[in-house]
Amino acid sequence: MDMIYLDSNATTRPAPEVVRAMADMLEHDWANPSSAHRLGQRARAKLDEAREQVASLVHCAPGELFFTGCGTEAINTAIRGLLLARTPRRRIVTSTVEHSATRELCQQLARDGYEIVEIGVDEQGELDLVHFQDIVDDQCALVSLMWANNETGVVWPVETLSAHCRSKKVPLHMDATQAVGKIPVDVTSLGIDAASFAGHKFHGPKGVGALFTRKGIRLKPWLIGGPQERGRRGGTENTAGIVGMGAAAKVAQATLQQMVKVETMRDDFEERLLRNVPDTQIHAGRATRLPNTSNVGFAALSAEAILLSLSEKGICASAGAACSSGSLEASHVLQAMRVDHRHAHGAIRFSLSRYTTQDELEHTLSTLPAIIGKLRQVMPV
Ligand code: PLP
């Protein structure tokens, strides 16, 4: 059997339609979309089509969307751009479980004199809505929260968050990087002000992202130096990447229903794992979650040892966030959820996609009990 890929929250396999669209772009429509000649116009038309495809997936007008170099850049642009465009207000509300793109930027902003308030979560990873409603008042400059958590898959009640922000006239940015392509994302009907996306999280290419900003919302550009993207993001566009992201959006929209099947497979996987491997728990298992994500705590083991053994058997998974693997510190998300140390240190994230097969999960289920049993004998933590 080929490698079994259960790490789709780190990145997804590009869809064949994406690969074809990108190859075609690189081969035939490689001109600069800002050029006035016919070749440039052809590249521009492809870019416009990709913008429409992504806008259609997230339900906004194409003009409300511009492309960035990745999800991290979209998040940085949203937070800094909304702050700079506004306000003498200095309070930013975020959460304890954000991706490092938001967390580290907010730490930097704290050093620059902003007041950062991090809302906590409960044992299931659900946001403390009482604290949220209390702290988000008309003194806030900005709220930035994730739509769905990359480690646990927990999905927050965006409608409630948005309604409160609107009532206080505080702009709301959602990091929708993990949500899009897995659950319906409708930025317009939910009334949010800004949202960030990354192509590689929904079977598009890496190195391209997008930022939605609601019509009428003021945003200062962050990357300055050209008229591209109507002055909202300078620099010659990554045309092949953008076209790939557009193709991925088109396929994601057409196949979103398949995530129901993915969820059934994930639930069955978890149920049988709990039955077959003692002293194991599912993190955030009772929360509203993305259909593809399973965060499993194997007690008394280190996640690194489990990952290595899985990798030797051809199974790719991850320890919490991909960027925190390699460190022995338990993930900040599981710590915020007050997961006990025994399970937090042995936490593995399995993240499925529409390409995951039942055979692959059967193989993983039959491989895991022996790995866990052996590691608990030879290297318990
Ligand atoms: N936000 C979340 C929730 C993520 O999971 C990621 C990627 O892991 C990002 C932001 C950053 O996206 P990118 O890697 O495209 O910069």
Q: pLDDT tens-digit profile of 286-315?
A: 999 999 999 999 999 999 999 999 999 999
182 lines ligand 1 (CB under 6 A): no
Question: In this predicted model, which residue has the larger pLDDT, 88 or 210?
Answer: 210
What is each CA distance from 260 to 50, 158, 266, 273, in whole angstroms? Answer: 26, 20, 10, 20
To the query of whether residue 60 is one of the catalytic residues in this protein, the response is: no
pLDDT at residue number 320? 64
Split at pLDDT 50, 70, 90, the class of 324 is: very low
178 lines ligand 1 (CB under 6 A): yes
For residue 84, pLDDT over 90 is answered with: no
Q: pTM for the full model?
A: 0.96
Question: In this predicted model, which residue has the larger pLDDT, 86 or 330?
Answer: 330
146 lines ligand 1 (CB under 6 A): yes
Length of the chain: 381
71 lines ligand 1 (CB under 6 A): yes
Between helix 358-378 and helix 258-276 the angle, nearest 10°, is 30
Separation of CA 211 and ligand 1 centre (Å): 13
Percent of the chain with pLDDT over 90: 93
Mutate to test the pocket of ligand 1, among 8, 11, 72 (most ligand atoms within 8 A of CB): 72
pLDDT at residue number 101? 97
d(CA 186, CA 149): 18
pLDDT at residue number 83? 93
For residue 82, pLDDT over 50 is answered with: yes
**Model pLDDT for residues 227-267, shown as the tens digit of each residue:** 999 999 999 999 999 999 999 999 999 999 999 999 999 99
Residues 99 and 152: beta-carbon distance below 8 Å: no
Q: Whose CA is nearest to atom 8 of ligand 1?
A: 10
Mutate to test the pocket of ligand 1, among 98, 150, 180, 333 (most ligand atoms within 8 A of CB): 150
Question: Which atom of ligand 1 has the smallest separation from the CA of 101?
Answer: 10
For residue 1, pLDDT over 50 is answered with: yes
pLDDT at residue number 86? 72
72 lines ligand 1 (CB under 6 A): yes
Split at pLDDT 50, 70, 90, the class of 321 is: very low
Strands (E) located in the chain: 4-5, 65-68, 91-95, 115-119, 140-146, 172-175, 194-198, 209-213, 280-283, 293-298, 315-316, 347-351
Cα dihedral value 57, 10, 121, 112, nearest 10: -90
d(CA 291, CA 266): 7
Split at pLDDT 50, 70, 90, the class of 336 is: very high
**Model pLDDT for residues 127-177, shown as the tens digit of each residue:** 999 999 999 999 999 999 999 999 999 999 999 999 999 999 999 999 999
* Average pLDDT value for the chain: 95
Split at pLDDT 50, 70, 90, the class of 327 is: low
**Model pLDDT for residues 166-225, shown as the tens digit of each residue:** 999 999 999 999 999 999 999 999 999 999 999 999 999 999 999 999 999 999 999 999
pLDDT at residue number 322? 46
Phi and psi of 318, rounded to 5°? -150, 155
Cα dihedral value 184, 197, 8, 147, nearest 10: -50
Residues 186 and 174: beta-carbon distance below 8 Å: no
pLDDT at residue number 85? 77
